[in-house]
Amino acid sequence: MKITFLGTNGWYSSPTGDTPCIVIDSKDQYVILDAGNGIYKLDRFINDHKPVSLFISHFHLDHVSGLHTLAKFNLKQGIDVYIGEGRAKDFETIVNPPFTVGYKPKPENIIILKTEIRLHELSQKVKNIPYKVVAIKQHHAYVDHGYRIELEGKTIAYTGDCGFTDQARTLAKGVDLLICECSNKKTDEPDLWGHFDPKQAGNLARESGVKQLILTHFGAHLYKTLDERKWAEEESKKIFPNSTAATDGMEFTL
């Protein structure tokens, strides 16, 4: 399967990239991870031939600011949107007026989305939807959900934004690919906010028996050049050699 990084910045878009969005093109499914500004590029990478799922880690604006661009898509199969348990109210707030046009057709609406949106909450229990997925609550400000997703016999873990905790270890344990945020260059102790730095990401991958680590969500205020991302990659590689720093447009085959 092919994994394309459409947005790899944290906090805000800058010359180094857009805010978080990743698209996984598997044999039977498209799976999208987060809906930052990078999601506007999505129609270059998907078509009407396979189901589309979107997983939202949390509702900080850098992870959902691209939801308003769903209005530009016209996917006949619609999009199934998955969020953590108890987060439906947050989705309903951000995708309805006055913030955007609304996703549920109403007779009085002149403008409605061309693509049907179907919303689902996930608990910390494995679901088959029709592939295996579990949402695991993480330490990050006002709640983040990481996801473990099994496709084509491979397991991918996506942290969203989170700190280095036992829950992060549960999320990452034994996966084929860990896609881990790397907002910080060095994380303060104690980590009250919940973010990773490259050494922490490398340690998580090593401790958890991960096969491959990709760093993403680089804090735009700290990582001002792509060379600084290469520094993060090298720092992580000192601990976990199979580390890669993502950039916008990067493709990875799993």
Read off the tokens for 237: 């590689």
pTM (predicted TM-score): 0.96
Residue 108 pLDDT exceeds 80: no
Min mean pLDDT across 7-11, 12-16, 31-35, 112-116 is at 112-116
Could you tell me if residue 94 is inside a domain? yes
The answer to whether residue 97 sits within a structural domain is: yes
DSSP 8-state assignment for residue 14: B
Compute the average pLDDT of residues 119-123.
93
In a domain, 254, yes or no: no
Q: Which of 229, 226, 223 is nearest to 244 (CA)?
A: 229
CATH of residue 243: 3.60.15.10
pLDDT surpassing 80 at residue 232: yes
Asked whether the predicted pLDDT for residue 211 surpasses 90, the reply is yes
**pLDDT digits over 23-79, tens only?**
999 999 999 999 999 999 999 999 878 999 999 999 999 999 999 998 888 899 999
96 against 234, higher pLDDT: 234
Which pLDDT score is estimated for 47? Answer: 87
Residue 25, in any domain of the structure: yes
- 191 found inside a domain: yes
- pLDDT at position 49 is 86
Q: Identify the sign of the CA torsion 23, 94, 143, 127.
A: negative
Residue 142 pLDDT exceeds 90? no
What does the pLDDT read at residue 7? 98
For the chain, give the number of residues. Answer: 254
Region for 168 from its dihedrals, namely left if φ exceeds 0, alpha if ψ lies in -120 to 50, beta otherwise: alpha
pLDDT of residue 102: 83
What's the pLDDT at 107? 55
Q: How many domains are there within the chain?
A: 1
In this predicted structure, what is the pLDDT of residue 106?
A: 63
Lowest mean pLDDT among 45-54, 107-116, 131-140: 107-116
Q: Has residue 109 got a pLDDT over 80?
A: no
244: which DSSP letter? E
Residue numbers of the domain that contains 98: 2-249
The beta strands (E) that lie in the chain are given as: 2-7, 9-10, 21-25, 30-33, 52-55, 79-84, 117-122, 127-128, 132-138, 144-151, 154-158, 177-181, 212-216, 218-219, 243-245, 251-253
Q: Is the pLDDT of residue 111 over 70?
A: no
**Residue 12 pLDDT level (bands cut at 50, 70, 90):** very high
Q: In 26-153, which ranges are E strands?
A: 30-33, 52-55, 79-84, 117-122, 127-128, 132-138, 144-151
In a domain, 144, yes or no: yes
Helix axes 198-208, 226-237, angle to 10 degrees: 40
Mean pLDDT of the chain: 94
**What is the mean predicted confidence (pLDDT) over 12-24?**
98
